[in-house]
Amino acid sequence: MSHSLDRTHDPSLRSWVETANQKDTDFPIQNLPFGVFRERGKAENSRIGVAIGDRILDLKFCCQEGLLQELPTRLQEACKAPNLNPLMALGNWASSTLRARLSELLLSNGQQKTLGTNLLVPMVEAELLLPADIGDYTDFYASIFHATNVGKLFRPARPLLPNYKHLPIAYHGRASSIVPSGTSLKRPKGQRKDSGDSIPNFGPSQLLDYEVEVGFFIGVGNQLGQPIVIDRAEESIFGLCLVNDWSARDIQAWEYQPLGPFLGKSFGTTISPWVVTMEALAPFRCSAFSRPEGDPLPLDYLSSSLNSKLGGINLTVEVLLQSAQMREQGIEPFLLSRASFQEMYWTLAQMLVHHSCNGCNLRPGDLLASGTVSGAEEGSQGSLLEISQRGSKAIKLPTGETRTFLADADEVIIRGYCEREGFTRVGFGECRGIILPAR
């Protein structure tokens, strides 16, 4: 909401990095997301990069070559850091200023003859790391369709709890087990209690699931005791990524009352490595979800005409699955669902404002996630719990295999992209991970 369109969004822009001009790329010159990497096989510290086509622009090297010397000194120093936290802490003016300069450097106007290609690292030769030192992680429950779908499975007569339409529900997650895309995760163990059992048992989860979500990183946060107001909330958001909030449904079902998710969630959360800035998403802003007639209006601290008009994002998320057998046979990943982030009941600004309304302080690099992105239509459910109807409806894969929940060696792949006529498509890359057998 705080970003307007400028020359960096011009769809006619082309880069001298040829792969950035391909129609299906996630990383055209109009995107320029930030991430952290190191070159494979080299004993070196991590450094900040920007995705452009199938390459990574090395910001530390840009600084060394004097290509960013016109920028403020503190911004140049942030570009040399081993993670994005210092850049996030400077605020959106810094990422906006830097993005504009990088757009100039990467523009196809003859500069490449003097810049050369030594600024670039092929993505296939890089290890993509967590983009920030994540101090805290909060997971919301912002899709009314997901909340209703899950509620019907457990409470058919009363799917939504009384507070759902009045405030953004969330729980405090585990930051230490957040991992970058491509990290394999072991099937978790824990206590489970089936309906026919008199006592619980301990062992590997049998109902392992994913949840496709959108995450957002905090830039400039707030001081303890100073809530964030809604019309300025997005000034505190640095950018967005994709999130897979892995979930052990059987462990979760036994443990979650009365205090909510614990071991059924904390064994791993996967995020995509590239952070797409709010500025890059400016062309894809849209109205917030239109509440059905009869739903309560948000309280004043969650209400804003600006948020209603531009609080949504026209972002499509997809989740795919590839089994070990599919990989062996060279079969492409199977599309499980596709949903729109525009249909979330609560906006990013409302989630952030509610998080801070009691005075809770948010810090640069903190990660907040939206909760499962699901839609109203068949094929838009963002978890296997919903798709399989709690395991009662099997999904058939191209190999003839069936799934109700995840099997060992399954790989889950989440993708996201924004499209709008008259603008260049902007993508998020992939958020992927393979399930390994329990230890």
Q: Is residue 165 part of a domain?
A: yes
Residue 155's CB is within 10 A of a number of other CB atoms, namely: 11
> In terms of residue numbers, what domain contains 266?
137-436
Looking at residue 53, its pLDDT comes to: 98
Catalytic pick from 146, 166, 172, 354?
146
Q: Is residue 1 part of a domain?
A: no
Task: Give the domain CATH number at 81.
Answer: 2.30.30.230
Looking at residue 48, its pLDDT comes to: 98
- The reply to whether 76 and 164 lie within a common domain is no
Looking at residue 43, its pLDDT comes to: 83
Structurally, the chain folds into a number of domains equal to: 2
| Residues 253, 251: Cα–Cα separation, whole Å | 6
- The reply to whether 257 and 377 lie within a common domain is yes
Active site residue 172: no
Are 428 and 274 within 8 A, CB to CB? Answer: yes
- The reply to whether 244 and 281 lie within a common domain is yes
- The reply to whether 257 and 143 lie within a common domain is yes
| Residues 252, 254: Cα–Cα separation, whole Å | 6
Are 370 and 237 within 8 A, CB to CB? Answer: no
- The reply to whether 157 and 75 lie within a common domain is no
| Residues 29, 106: Cα–Cα separation, whole Å | 7
Domain end point (choices 78, 94, 129): 129
Domain end point (choices 81, 109, 129): 129
Domain end point (choices 97, 129, 161): 129
| Residues 268, 137: Cα–Cα separation, whole Å | 12
Task: Give the domain CATH number at 213.
Answer: 3.90.850.10
Which stretches within 11-91 are classed as H helix?
Answer: 59-64, 73-79, 85-90
- The reply to whether 73 and 193 lie within a common domain is no
**Using a CB cutoff of 8 Å and minimum separation of 24, what contacts does 121-125 make?**
121/37, 121/39, 121/49, 121/55, 121/56, 121/58, 122/54, 122/55, 122/56, 123/51, 123/54, 123/55, 123/56, 124/54, 125/39, 125/40
Q: Is residue 344 part of a domain?
A: yes
- The reply to whether 283 and 221 lie within a common domain is yes
- The reply to whether 76 and 146 lie within a common domain is no
Per-residue confidence in pLDDT tens, the chain, 439 aa: 557 899 999 999 999 999 999 999 999 999 999 999 999 988 889 999 999 999 999 999 999 999 999 999 999 999 999 999 999 999 999 999 999 999 999 998 756 656 667 889 999 999 999 999 999 999 999 999 999 999 999 999 999 999 999 999 999 999 999 999 999 999 999 999 988 889 999 999 999 999 999 999 999 999 999 999 999 999 999 999 999 999 999 999 999 989 999 999 999 999 999 999 999 999 999 999 999 999 999 999 999 999 999 999 999 999 999 999 999 999 999 999 999 999 999 999 999 999 999 999 999 999 999 999 999 999 999 999 999 999 999 999 999 999 999 999 999 999 999 999 999 999 999 999 999 999 8
* CA-wise closest residue to 246 among 224, 270, 215: 270
Looking at residue 109, its pLDDT comes to: 78
Looking at residue 110, its pLDDT comes to: 55
Q: Is residue 240 part of a domain?
A: yes
Q: Is residue 16 part of a domain?
A: yes
- The reply to whether 80 and 187 lie within a common domain is no
- The reply to whether 122 and 244 lie within a common domain is no
Q: Is residue 20 part of a domain?
A: yes
Where in 245-332 does DSSP place strands (E)?
247-248, 269-271, 276-277, 285-286, 312-313, 315-322
Looking at residue 196, its pLDDT comes to: 84
Q: Is residue 2 part of a domain?
A: no
- The reply to whether 172 and 102 lie within a common domain is no
- The reply to whether 219 and 259 lie within a common domain is yes
Q: Is residue 251 part of a domain?
A: yes
